[in-house]
Amino acid sequence: MDKKAVIIRKYFELSDLASADEHALHEIIGLFSAKAVVKGANGFVANTPVTIASFFTHFFQDNQELHHLCHVVMDQGVYKAEWVVAGRKRSGQLFAYHGFDRYEFDQDDKIKFLQVEIG
């Protein structure tokens, strides 16, 4: 498996921990370049280090427990991950989603673009 695919898998592994582990949250944020853009499934766009950190901080505060499975592929030079997640919101509500992420990387193997789609 190539380095970028490993980074994507690490992103999902850390996502399962970040709700209860601040170190994992900081590791996730550290996977992104200073010029990264994150487009959330809810339409939110984070395009500065501060808004990206805020996006993930709030996401993991709202989602108290997560369990992901993912499959990473490269398609025409773009890394994609198909994923499923089961989780528990802060309210106690249970949920499950299926979705797709698209990733682009910079020359330092930092994520420079992430688009999340549910469905």
Domains and CATH numbers, the chain: 3-118 (3.10.450.50)
Give the CA angle between residues 34, 5, 105 to the nearest 5°: 30
Q: Which helix (H) or strand (E) holds 77?
A: none
pLDDT value for 77? 84
Q: Say what the pTM is.
A: 0.94
pLDDT tens per residue across span 71-92: 999 988 899 999 999 999 999 9
Of 99, 101, 21, nearest to 65 by C-alpha is 21
Of 40, 36, 18, 35, nearest to 27 by C-alpha is 18
Single-letter amino acid, residue 14: L
Q: Which helix (H) or strand (E) holds 53?
A: helix 49-62
